[in-house]
Chains A and B, each alone.
Chain A
Amino acid sequence: MSHRLQIGFVFIILYIGLNHTIYPDLIFQLTNTGHWEVVLCQGLLQLTLIWIYIKGLSYFPGQDVIDIYLKAGKLIAFIILIPFVISLTALIAYDIRLHTEVIISVFLSRTPYWPVLVLLFFITTYIALNGLGTILRSSVFIFLIVIPLMLFVILSSLINFDWHNATPVWHSSFDFLMEKKFFYLMGFAAFLPLGFMAYKTKLTFGFIFLAWVCVMISFLSVVYIPLFIFGQEAVMTLPFSMIRAISSVDIRWFIFNQQTIFLALSLIGFTVILNAVLLWMIGRIMHKMLKWKKVKTSYWIIVFSIIAFIFALFVPSRSWTDKWFLWSAGAQVYFMIVIPFSTLICGFVMKRGRVSYEKG
């Protein structure tokens, strides 16, 4: 299977792994009507950034973001990438913690946090240690196993739908664009890893656009399933509304009556891939930036996964997880703007430099 297709799968997995927990809750707090407008606005903004990113990367065939920054100067690389590593570590920690909470609330109600965390971190780190090739290959498997399951879960929830709950369909003003929560919403994106995988194959915008369409469908379904089932007034009061919505489905004659467990299990697969990719990025950045001969990439991955694990373990309460997760998502927005634009500028400047050098 071509690398490009695998990267497409990973792209979709990363997004779906992010958007099942807090994302719908944020949307419901942001607007009462016309939810699709918010989702679409956020998606289009991200698409613009992706376009800029790919345009920037196309100036440097066969190279990834780290190479580009190192070319531009070690100082620039440090200024941009070291905070990026820190924010990624935080994102990994709180993402895994959040999913631990989902797992515990869905089917391990008597288990304490740490064994679940240990398990998730162990698998995540193991996958990350094996490198990008393994991640890409395993993501194809997970994708093919999990997506049918998810489709089934979504289809089964149809029996509880009340289509009237989603009306009014239109939202006349765009004032949500200026709200803080919309800013957090932007953080639910995972296109930055594309730049780190760029050395494997040449990325084309058309291909990523196809993956983006799939992602948008998943975003809309994650928002509209709870909305159709509970209605805006009730859904606002429910945390983890997507998972709640699925657990309201009762198909007793069916052997798989526990749809929630199916959903939670498939989410584990996606979360593991998501965090493995992030850890692998950290390892690659640290390894390329600090070229100490003896330190291998794998050591960096282990060190940072332990740091993230400790962070995740010492979260005192649920409200902390939510808050910190949002903050780390918010920090991602900063990098989502800085990294694409700076690659584009680098590419532009260097191309002109090369042209003038050749002329001169």
Chain B
Amino acid sequence: MKRVNKTLITAMFLLTFLSGCWDIKDIDQRNLPLVIGIAKADNNEYKVTAQIPIPKLSGQTQSGPMSRIVTSKGESFSSALGQIKTNSEDAVDYSHVRLIVIQKNLTKNQKELRQLIKFLMDSKEIPMKAMLAITNDHIEKLLSNINDKLGVDSTSLYDFFNKGAGWAPEISSAPIWEVYRSLFSYTEDITIPVVDSGKDTVLNYKGAAVLKKGKITQRISPNENQLINLFQNKSAKGKIESVGFASVMVTKSTIENKTVMKNNKPLVYSDLNLKIDILERKADITNNQIRERLEKLTQKQFYHIFKQAQKSNTDIFGFGQYFRDQIPYDDLKNWRGKYYPKLKVNFQVHVSME
């Protein structure tokens, strides 16, 4: 009898403590923003726009908006986020944010951008897996475009940046934690995708902006960005390339890097192996001609970006990572200034047919 009582009391305790209902609002009383836009307002305030899907009630017909746009302003990003919470009738839960779009006017100030990224990283609510993107458009325009064309399905936005099935190989993706890492890293810079609101599609991919310690140093086109992705070992599978007299599809890509350090002069031998499938060609064009042309084009493209990057001391390809074990750690912080301008890259493309 006594034993039964004990068990009963314990069970009661567990009931009270393990219900998991502390200050929790149910899912129907929560707003879950999926996309957040950040911009600088005219009076130097932060303007934060959130796109919040409205769940459809059962029995409701298709008509009516499926998501809405909420905007608020504040002296800092966090206060603007707080404003949205205050003004919202339901609890706002930022833990499902998938994409954060930053308007171009905010990226001009290096200090502010750094601060913003640090805040996003430290925030307990916003997941550090969320993707970052930059837009030239007005945030509201972009978000309402998402709203009109996608509505509740705005998760597909995330798929836009996520590698995996159906991913276009020229798109770069930059989750918050990777951008944060590049703010501190001695030897690696990062590219952030630039998107505009499209006419027919939701987003229009405009290439990428190169971020060096929180400062944008260079813009690169989608085609060029693909090369950078290749160096980060993201596959270029499915990429369609036009070489003038033919168009080919890349079916497999691998890259091998060998590094040498000679009297403080870094040297990289880079070998890109592409396997291609010829989709169409003009008459009388041999395989060899296509191969040579593609090799030449890709090499030219690479040296074009590399020269530009070297001029602005930005290591977008992450070559510095390969030299980390060849330069003493205390000297690594001089990689961008001292070693990188002297870096020579021997880039070879080897194309083979499927």
Find out whether the CB atom of A244 lies under 8 angstroms from the CB atom of B128.
yes
Q: How near does chain A come to B27, taking the closest CB pair, in angstroms?
A: 15
Whether the pair B23, A111 counts as a contact (CB closer than 8 A) is yes
Is A148 positioned at the interface, with any CB of B under 8 Å from its CB? no
Check A164–B322 contact: CB distance below 8 A.
Answer: yes
A231 close to B (CB within 8 Å): yes
Question: Which chain A residue has the least Cβ–Cβ distance from B321?
Answer: A164
The 6 A-B residue pairs whose C-beta atoms are closest, nearest first, are: A167-B325, A164-B321, A234-B184, A233-B184, A167-B324, A250-B129
Docked CA distance A158–B340 (Å): 29
| 9 further A-B pairs in the complex, CB-CB below 8 A; given A33-B329, A234-B183 | A115-B17, A119-B18, A167-B325, A168-B325, A236-B184, A244-B128, A247-B129, A248-B129, A248-B177
Q: How many residue pairs, one in A and one in B, have C-beta atoms under 8 Å apart?
A: 67
Determine the distance from Cα of A162 to Cα of B190 in the docked complex, in whole angstroms.
Answer: 14
Measured CB to CB, the closest approach of chain A to B326, in angstroms, equals 8
Q: How far is the CA of A357 from the CA of B162 in the complex (A)?
A: 79
> Is A105 part of the binding interface, using a Cβ–Cβ cutoff of 8 Å?
yes
Q: Enumerate chain A interface residues (CB-CB to B < 8 A).
A: 32-33, 105, 108-111, 115, 118-119, 122, 162, 164-165, 167-169, 229-234, 236-238, 244, 247-250, 252-253
* Residues of chain B contacted by A119 (CB below 8 angstroms): 17-18
Chain B, residue nearest A247 (CB): B128
Question: Measured between C-beta atoms, what is the minimum distance from A74 to chain B in Å?
Answer: 37
Q: Does B124 contact A (CB under 8 A)?
A: yes
Which residue of B is nearest A107, CB measured?
B95
Residues A115 and B181 in contact, CB atoms below 8 Å apart: no
Q: Shortest distance in angstroms between B130's beta carbon and chain A's nearest beta carbon?
A: 9
Q: B residues within 8 Å of A by Cβ? A: 13, 17-18, 22-24, 121, 124-125, 127-129, 158, 162, 164, 175, 177, 180-181, 183-186, 188, 321-322, 324-325, 327-329
Partner of A231, one of B175, B184, B327: B184
B129, B188, B321, B324: the one contacting A168 at CB < 8 Å is B324
Name the CB-closest residue of A to B18: A119
Chain B contacts for A110, CB-based, 8 A: 22-24
**In whole angstroms, what is the CA distance A118 to B181 when docked?**
37
Give the Cβ gap from A157 to chain B, nearest Cβ, in Å. Answer: 12
What are 26 contact pairs spanning A and B, CB under 8 A? A33-B329, A105-B124, A110-B22, A110-B23, A111-B22, A115-B17, A118-B17, A119-B18, A122-B17, A165-B321, A167-B325, A169-B325, A229-B177, A230-B177, A230-B181, A231-B181, A231-B184, A231-B185, A232-B329, A233-B184, A234-B184, A236-B184, A247-B129, A248-B175, A248-B177, A250-B129
Which residues of chain A are near B175, meaning CB under 8 Å?
248, 250
Q: In whole angstroms, how far apart are the Cα atoms of A105 and B158 in the complex?
A: 25
Known: A169-B325, A247-B128. A233 touches B185 (CB 8 A): yes
Residue of A109, A118, A122, A164 with most partner-chain B CB within 10 A: A164
- Tell me the smallest distance from the CB of A32 to a CB of chain B, in Å: 5
A115 to B18, alpha carbons, bound, how many Å? Answer: 10
Residues of B within 8 A of A169 (CB): 325
What's the minimum C-beta distance from A248 to chain B, rounded to whole angstroms?
Answer: 4
Question: Cβ of B185 and Cβ of A164 under 8 Å apart?
Answer: no
Q: B183's closest neighbor in chain A, by CB?
A: A234
Q: Which has the most chain B C-beta neighbours within 10 Å: A111, A237, A248?
A: A248
> In the complex, A167 Cα to B321 Cα: how many Å?
9
Question: B164 to chain A: which residues have CB within 8 Å?
Answer: 253
> Given the complex, which residues of A lie within 8 Å of B322, measured CB to CB?
164
CB of B325 within 8 A of CB of A109, answer no
Give the shortest distance, in Å, between A243 (CB) and chain B (any CB). 11
Distance, CA A343 to CA B18, complexed state (A): 44
Contacts of A253 in B (CB 8 A): 164
For residue A115, give the distance in angstroms from its CB to the closest CB of chain B: 6
Instruction: Tell me, in angstroms, the Cα distance from A87 to B298 when the chains sit together.
Output: 66
Chain B residue nearest to A230 (CB atoms) is: B181
User: Which of chain A's residues has its CB closest to B130's CB?
Assistant: A250
Residue of B18, B121, B188, B324 with most chain A CB atoms under a 10 A cut-off:
B324
Are A248 and B325 CB-contacts (below 8 A) given A119-B17, A122-B17? no
Question: How far apart are B202's CB and chain A's nearest CB, in angstroms?
Answer: 19
Of all chain B residues, the one with the shortest Cβ separation from A236 is: B184
- With a cutoff of 8 Å between Cβ atoms, the chain B residues found around residue A111 in the complex are 22-23
Q: Verify B329–A168 contact, CB threshold 8 A.
A: yes
